Chain A
């Protein structure tokens, strides 16, 4: 296949595309017909914002540290 494409041929394909697929932006369907906030709230309820994994890892490390070195608890409380 000839890999080059001349300007007139490019224009013809563009025109064919425009005639075959009408722009969605100019149609009434491009306008939102309902408020999506209730659906958004459902989505937020279904997937509450999760705590990032590295926060859990940090908490686990701290808990393990305090379990092995309980003497560090007063020091930690002092610095908090």
Chain B
């Protein structure tokens, strides 16, 4: 059984490679980390694998963690990188998981064909642009948080979002859709 007094104790023990402290951090943060990853990869099964990969990276990097800094922010950054690596390996024209492919409430004014073409075009974006656009436009996360997770400035996030919209417009026009 874990007998650790405070969060700072856990972080310090984690830095020294203590498995009990790592387990405590894992149990405390797995839901938030998974929740962040599923926003990016948009596939619950893949998000579980990426969550494991994230904590594996966290475990390997324990000696580099500064216990005076935020574990959440550090974990989120590692999670974002792991999710990006996952997106790089996924076929871009692979279909979306059913529950994400079909909105629970039908959207008026958007035909199924347009919706599918838009989703496909979006998945063809370079992963770095896709992540920024997903978090900013679809998930509506604050730019400051996205910047922290990606390790770039807010301005760079805005630029990536803008570039993704421009590429999306180009791809949609190529498919005969006039936004």
Contacts and interface: CB of A to CB of B under 8 A. Distances in A.
B118 A16 contact: yes
Nearest to A3: B166
Interface footprint category on B: 35 or more
A23 B118 contact: no
Contacts of A44: 19, 56, 59
B19 to A, nearest CB: 8
Contact of B39 (A19, A30, A32): A30
A39 B48 CA distance: 10
Contacts of B110: 16, 19-20
Contacts of A9: 169, 179
- How many chain A residues sit at the interface, stated as a range, is 20 to 34
A22 B56 contact: no
Contacts of B118: 16-17, 20-21
Interface of B: 17, 19, 23, 26-27, 30-31, 34-35, 38-39, 42, 44, 48, 51-52, 55-56, 59-60, 99-100, 103-104, 107, 109-110, 114-116, 118-119, 122, 133-134, 137-140, 162, 165-166, 168-170, 172-173, 179
